[in-house]
Amino acid sequence: MNGKANTEKLLERELVFAGRLLVLQKDKVKLAGGHVTHREVVRHPGAVAIAPVDAAGNLVLVRQYRYPVDEELLEVPAGKLEKGEEPLATAHRELAEETGLVALYMQPVAVFFTTPGFCDERMHLFLATGLRQAPEADIHPDADEAIKVERIPLGEAVEMCADGRIRDAKTMAAVFLVRGALGDAPAMGTGE
């Protein structure tokens, strides 16, 4: 479903900022009723999120400090798409870099917008199973990432979303979507 009901017409665009991760535009638009207004839009290359579930039914999460919110968050491994890189390749790369794991199976679960009120970031969510240790050469987190890996039973992760211990939106979406995909069945194709 595309949902394309364009009720706003672009009149002019101003580039406000272009950085290594995102671009900020200020668009002047005409609304369907004739009113003219401005939209501030963040352009993002897209990203992946991975919900790795081990043979015991644990969700493998990463705990890391997030500067914009000034706190440590518990999250699913994730990362941005590199230019020309397919989401599946990004998912495999990010899983190894952030957790030191590789997955025998990487199943697409959903594609969603993270914050469509001001940003066009599209996130591809994958369920990773059949987890095993990655070759040492594949484990290299970004220099600005201090990550701690934690394994949480999927049922407990649901509770953590409900009581506020998990507050990252992509992680909350991953927990509930993966729980729905797996149901009460053990992790499929675990290979561990």
pLDDT digits (tens, 9 = 90+) for 121-140: 999 999 999 999 988 755 66
The predicted pLDDT at position 182 comes to 82
Question: What pTM was computed for the model?
Answer: 0.88
Query: Is there a domain that residue 24 lies in?
Result: yes
pLDDT digits (tens, 9 = 90+) for 3-37: 666 789 999 999 999 999 899 999 999 999 999 99
Query: Is there a domain that residue 1 lies in?
Result: no
- Whether 121 and 33 map to the same domain: the answer is no
- Whether 19 and 113 map to the same domain: the answer is no
Q: pLDDT band for position 189 (50/70/90)? A: very low
- Whether 28 and 115 map to the same domain: the answer is no
The predicted pLDDT at position 67 comes to 93
Any residues with CB less than 8 A from the CB of 131 and at least 6 apart, and which?
52, 53, 54, 55, 60, 101, 102, 103, 104, 190, 191, 192
Instruction: Report d(CA 25, CA 123) in Å as an integer.
Output: 20
Question: How many domains does the chain fold into?
Answer: 2
The predicted pLDDT at position 134 comes to 86
Q: How many CB atoms lie within 10 A of CB 66?
A: 11
The token duo for 175 is 């927990």
Is 70 exceeded by the pLDDT of residue 151? yes
The arithmetic mean of pLDDT across residues 148-152, rounded, is 96
Any residues with CB less than 8 A from the CB of 137 and at least 6 apart, and which?
none
State the CATH number of the domain containing residue 111. Answer: 3.90.79.10
Is 60 exceeded by the pLDDT of residue 190? no
pLDDT digits (tens, 9 = 90+) for 62-117: 999 999 999 999 999 999 999 999 999 999 999 999 999 999 999 999 999 999 99
**Residue 37 lies in domain:** 8-43
- Whether 15 and 70 map to the same domain: the answer is no
- Whether 71 and 31 map to the same domain: the answer is no
Place of tokens 């997030």: 66
